[in-house]
Amino acid sequence: VSFGDELVSREEKTRRVGGVFSSVASKYDLMNDLMSGGMHRLWKDRFVAKVAPRAGEHILDMAGGTGDIAFRMAKSGALVTVSDINADMLGVGMERAKKRGVEGLTWQVENAETLSFADASFDAYTIAFGIRNVTDIPSALREAHRVLKRGGRFYCLEFSTSEWPGFGEIYDRYSEHLIPKIGKAVANDEASYRYLVESIRRFPRMSAFKAMIEDAGFRSASVEPILGGLVAIHGGWKI
Ligand code: SAM
């Protein structure tokens, strides 16, 4: 599989992605604001509105990192389990939760490809800006389907490719040149941000990813593009 421009084994990719997020964890939230000009907050609001969590529902926020999605969903009274392969990211999230006085969240280290949860455990599964970092995406989608109850919903927020003429090229130039520089200046870590840009570029197009969701067994798969598809919300139902 590829890691940036290099071909590496699956285990090596998973290990390196781990290194990237351990390295960026402490600066992760600040960098999101800088890189997106604060827009990631609006995308996350829109995503959670679409998930429409309800009080008492069990929701798994996969690749939940420092908790941005989980904090928003917990406001509804839903019972959210935040899982991530990286304990450093979850550690930052737990600190943030304590500071904000957010309660009722469960934090658990998990690899999206091989979940420890029983079948039919959750009403909803969310994954935001996480799936492109997963080495074996079809396995992660099958696991999402397995741990959902019948009638459960799957939602994914991820960078994709804008289909607005010219916009994709402008974004490519911005991300290729500026994001690694911001990474260097703020987090003293150019290589990790180069990886993040590269992983966005390699992620499948909206229609291809929708087909992967269907292949994992989901029905009525949908996609809602934001900024022409620079960012996309994909969904699917387990019936
Ligand atoms: N969802 C959070 C947000 O929107 O701010 C965090 C997104 S962050 C860009 C991506 C997260 O995916 C990281 O915390 C990383 O550790 C996690 N991740 C990468 N590979 C994973 C895997 N195989 N299983 C679970 N989490 C994974």
High-pLDDT (> 70) share of the chain, %? 100
In degrees to the nearest 10, what's the CA dihedral of 57, 63, 103, 119? 40
* CB 133 near ligand 1, within 6 Å: yes
- Which carries the bigger pLDDT value, residue 217 or residue 170? 217
Q: Is 170 exposed, middle or buried (0-12, 13-18, 19+ CB in 10 A)?
A: exposed
Ligand 1 centre and the CA of 172: distance in Å?
A: 22
CATH code: domain of residue 32: 3.40.50.150
Whether the predicted interface score ipTM is above 0.95: yes
Number of H helices, E strands in the chain: 9, 9
* CB 64 near ligand 1, within 6 Å: yes
- pTM here is 0.95
Q: Which of 46, 26, 33, 219 is nearest to 126 (CA)?
A: 46
User: Which residue ranges are tagged as binding site for S-adenosyl-L-methionine?
Assistant: 66, 84, 111-112
**Domain count for the chain:** 1
DSSP result, 31-84:
HHHHHHTTHHHHHHHHHHHHH---TT-EEEEET-TTSHHHHHHHTTT-EEEEEE
Distance of alpha carbon 120 from the chain centroid? 21
Ligand 1 centre and the CA of 24: distance in Å?
A: 11
Ligand 1 centre and the CA of 111: distance in Å?
A: 10
Ligand 1 centre and the CA of 165: distance in Å?
A: 30
Q: Whose CA is nearest to atom 17 of ligand 1?
A: 63
Please report the atom of ligand 1 found closest to the CA of residue 21.
16
pLDDT tens sequence across 44-89? 999 999 999 999 999 999 999 999 999 999 999 999 999 999 999 9
Question: Cα–Cα distances in Å, from 9 out to 14, 21, 47, 219?
Answer: 9, 19, 33, 32
Instruction: Tell me if 16 sits within 8 A of 85, measured CB to CB.
Output: no
pLDDT of residue 62: 98
pLDDT of residue 177: 87
Residue span of the structural domain in which 111 resides? 2-237
* CB 84 near ligand 1, within 6 Å: yes
Mean residue pLDDT of the chain comes to: 94
Q: Which of 162, 108, 113, 121 is nearest to 137 (CA)?
A: 113
